[in-house]
Amino acid sequence: MLQTHPFLRFLAVGALNTAVGYCLFLTALAIMPTTFSAMVVSTVLSVLFNFKTTGRMVFGVRDTRLLARFVGVYGVVFLYNWLGVDILQAAGFRPWLAGLILLPGGVVIAYTLNSRFVFRSGA
């Protein structure tokens, strides 16, 4: 089933990417002076990891020239998370829980933009 459905492959690889990214975020939260700096550091490291796994395992693409587009997609996802965490923190949520709450929306945004603008056929 994973062979014929790219979104299912994206979800499977996304589980790995999410686990890595969220662990990086938690680690960065523990050692960085601000939530924003933790988000920046964990996002940069996650994007580099995700580019390789998503490109190869989901879309079958190994073209490193697509990294700039991929970074652009995760720039959008970063803004979504940054604003979302800020709003949820203002509502009383802890940063770790706010990040968890925002995961599903980030997944949908990332898949949609990656499939249409980064790894599309003929990209």
Tens digit of each residue's pLDDT (9 = 90 or more) over 46-100: 989 999 999 999 888 889 999 999 999 989 998 999 999 999 999 999 998 999 9
Paired tokens of 103: 């995961």
All residues at 6 or more sequence positions from 73 whose CB lies less than 8 Å from its CB, including other chains = 110, 113, 114, 117, 118
pLDDT, mean of residues 7-26 = 90
pLDDT, mean of residues 19-41 = 92
DSSP conformation letters of 32-98: SSSHHHHHHHHHHHHHHHHHHHIIIIIT----GGGHHHHHHHHHHHHHHHHHHHHHHHHTT--HHHH
pTM of the model: 0.74
